[in-house]
Structure 1
């Protein structure tokens, strides 16, 4: 059974437009906590000035904290259009020191010139507090609203993925991107339900996933967590964007510039960890099958292979920081031309997310 893709369904379109203003108003009451802010400020030393790139602006927590220091400038990006209002507020306060662009990681080079010579480029991955609590976005398990899960600048929605993606492809996506061992069982259950009628909201989807999981009441967290993660990652092409973002950021950084990444789940952290290990002074012995130039490539000084984590005080005040891992490295003068080995390590993710829906 075929259904109209989200962007072709006019009934769904006007409903979302009608709800947009309500979503914006409700988010004003939501508090955003920039994760591991103190550790990041300690690493980047904004008191000494410089230009900083905030790749995940969100509610502006990092940017605002950096701009409190008079010698600083911030260029921020975010793919979510709801963040524009927070960026406008900051722009009024710091008109000459702050600029914002609604963009994705992969287009970082289009809004930041290499001559900018950023002192640090910062990524705070995953969902923002605003996106998590916004029922209109469909990220929560109990949302009765449209099955969306879009972070912004998307080609398709979770509705499209759940209702139109081939059953076997969906099973593989759930297993790989969600690290869900029951991916095939869940995909079969979804396929059975959608053959009767479209699955239209997150609450309905969560119920279907629960019915596919045996003894789900014994789970410490919601049994739909991993499947929701997989669908969200696929909808937003999060791993492709992360890989592209790391590459573009590395090209923009000059000698002494810092690349800082805060991740929240194992797939993100695996990519960041591999990137730093592959292109740092602490890398393992290179592959003998790669070109000599790439084998010799050493782009970063890695202070430690172990990530920083949030302290107990922060975890108590912001539970989201519990799973955060902060990794950073310092750029050297070597040019970056050959990201082929890095991309080849995660080719399965790239292929999964490149599927046209």
Structure 2
């Protein structure tokens, strides 16, 4: 899970509550320059934003977050920035529109830290984590359908598909069956009750994560349409980045990383599509070149200091002068939940 924050007392606005993941690597790949305009699409506690503001005295940053608590919590940083920071409440899937409205387009760089923030995980009332007992919520925007709504109203097959596709939980059908059986007596309304329910049907690995980890991840992704938002954010970043502008994305599980990897491969002309006997068709002119050849992972020292960084991967690309390619149905398919159907082995 993510940790969007910065413990540096030298950053604008003073110390924040959490340590940002891969901060040095993010800055190295984003390569901020004086006078540049940058978009932090996942503001959180402001970790990457603080570092960008500290990189040069005339850097400007637009911080976007769908969580109103994050925007409210950034007020002191805005005040300390001398007019160089603007915060916008919204989804990063609309970062192109938000950037245009705030005067940050075209942009010199976009950074995205995908997933739930440490602040959300550590607040029991938000219902993101089974480490604390709290309401089964998981809504980043604090509005709309909650995890409890899905758990208590979705039919068994839909629940199984959510848990299997978004959580990669092999025991998804057994978990869904247990949920449906349990909710007939009383609604499942707390994180503790759901975690105990899942632990009753998923075997615990003494060296692995809690048995409910994958189910909680799946519900959170479904509640917030996280994969769909990621696809929209990548396409939006392509639209607003100027030639030479950098896109840097930090992900925390294989579903996210797969989408980013495929996006950069397709946009850089490295997605393949042919063979030596039948070469692929010539596609659009590449809109990105790869900055990082493959994924960048945190070092052992960072993982030891911040265990939440252990699954992080960074990928980066640099915008070319080619036109933006726009919506991509193949990428969108990666983010969609398959139509409910029976699968073996669950």
TM-score (norm 2): 0.86
Corresponding residue for residue 123 of structure 1: 112
The answer as to 2:42 corresponding to 1:59 is no
Q: What is the rounded CA distance, in whole Å, between the counterparts of 2:245 and 2:142 in structure 1?
A: 29
The answer as to 2:256 corresponding to 1:277 is no
Deviation at 1:251, TM superposition (A): 0.8
Corresponding residue for residue 80 of structure 2: 93
Deviation at 1:227, TM superposition (A): 0.5
**Partner-residue secondary structure (3-state), 1:232:** helix
Q: What is the rounded CA distance, in whole Å, between the counterparts of 1:57 and 1:338 in structure 2?
A: 24
Deviation at 1:206, TM superposition (A): 0.4
The answer as to 2:222 corresponding to 1:242 is no
Q: What is the rounded CA distance, in whole Å, between the counterparts of 2:328 and 2:43 in structure 1?
A: 29
Deviations 1:187-246 (A, max 9, x none): 000000001110010000001111112x42646210001011100100011001001111
Corresponding residue for residue 302 of structure 1: 290
Corresponding residue for residue 66 of structure 2: 79
**Partner-residue secondary structure (3-state), 2:107:** coil
Deviation at 1:311, TM superposition (A): 1.4
Corresponding residue for residue 171 of structure 1: 160
Deviation at 1:342, TM superposition (A): 3.1
Corresponding residue for residue 4 of structure 2: none
Q: What is the rounded CA distance, in whole Å, between the counterparts of 1:145 and 1:176 in structure 2?
A: 25
Q: What is the rounded CA distance, in whole Å, between the counterparts of 1:278 and 1:307 in structure 2?
A: 16
Structure 2 unaligned residues grouped into runs of 5+:
1-14, 341-346
Deviation at 1:333, TM superposition (A): 1.3
The answer as to 2:25 corresponding to 1:39 is yes
Q: What is the rounded CA distance, in whole Å, between the counterparts of 1:97 and 1:115 in structure 2?
A: 11
Q: What is the rounded CA distance, in whole Å, between the counterparts of 2:221 and 2:16 in structure 1?
A: 24
Q: What is the rounded CA distance, in whole Å, between the counterparts of 1:210 and 1:124 in structure 2?
A: 29
Corresponding residue for residue 256 of structure 1: 244
Structure 1 unaligned residues grouped into runs of 5+:
1-28, 353-357
The answer as to 2:219 corresponding to 1:231 is yes
Deviations 1:70-98 (A, max 9, x none): 02000110011111233211111124211
**Partner-residue secondary structure (3-state), 1:100:** strand
Does structure 2 conserve the Cα–Cα contact (< 8 Å) formed by 1:281 and 1:302? no
Residues 347 and 286 of structure 1, relative CA distance in 2, 3 Å threshold: farther
Deviation at 1:347, TM superposition (A): 5.9
TM-score (norm 1): 0.83
Residues 191 and 63 of structure 1, relative CA distance in 2, 3 Å threshold: same
**Partner-residue secondary structure (3-state), 1:328:** strand
How much is the aligned-residue C-alpha RMSD, in angstroms? Answer: 2.3
Q: What is the rounded CA distance, in whole Å, between the counterparts of 1:30 and 1:285 in structure 2?
A: 46
Q: What is the rounded CA distance, in whole Å, between the counterparts of 1:345 and 1:338 in structure 2?
A: 15
Q: 2:305 aligns with which of 298, 302, 317?
A: 317
- Identify the range of structure 1 (95-104 vs 37-46) with the bigger mean alpha-carbon deviation: 37-46
Corresponding residue for residue 20 of structure 1: none
The answer as to 2:99 corresponding to 1:112 is yes
Does structure 2 conserve the Cα–Cα contact (< 8 Å) formed by 1:120 and 1:257? yes
Q: What is the rounded CA distance, in whole Å, between the counterparts of 1:63 and 1:270 in structure 2?
A: 26
Q: What is the rounded CA distance, in whole Å, between the counterparts of 2:214 and 2:165 in structure 1?
A: 10
Deviation at 1:141, TM superposition (A): 1.2
Specify which structure has the higher proportion of helix: 1
Q: What is the rounded CA distance, in whole Å, between the counterparts of 2:328 and 2:274 in structure 1?
A: 13
Q: What is the rounded CA distance, in whole Å, between the counterparts of 2:36 and 2:241 in structure 1?
A: 13
**Partner-residue secondary structure (3-state), 1:156:** coil
Corresponding residue for residue 9 of structure 1: none
Does structure 1 conserve the Cα–Cα contact (< 8 Å) formed by 2:62 and 2:104? no
Deviation at 1:154, TM superposition (A): 4.2
Q: What is the rounded CA distance, in whole Å, between the counterparts of 2:68 and 2:226 in structure 1?
A: 17
Deviation at 1:338, TM superposition (A): 4.5
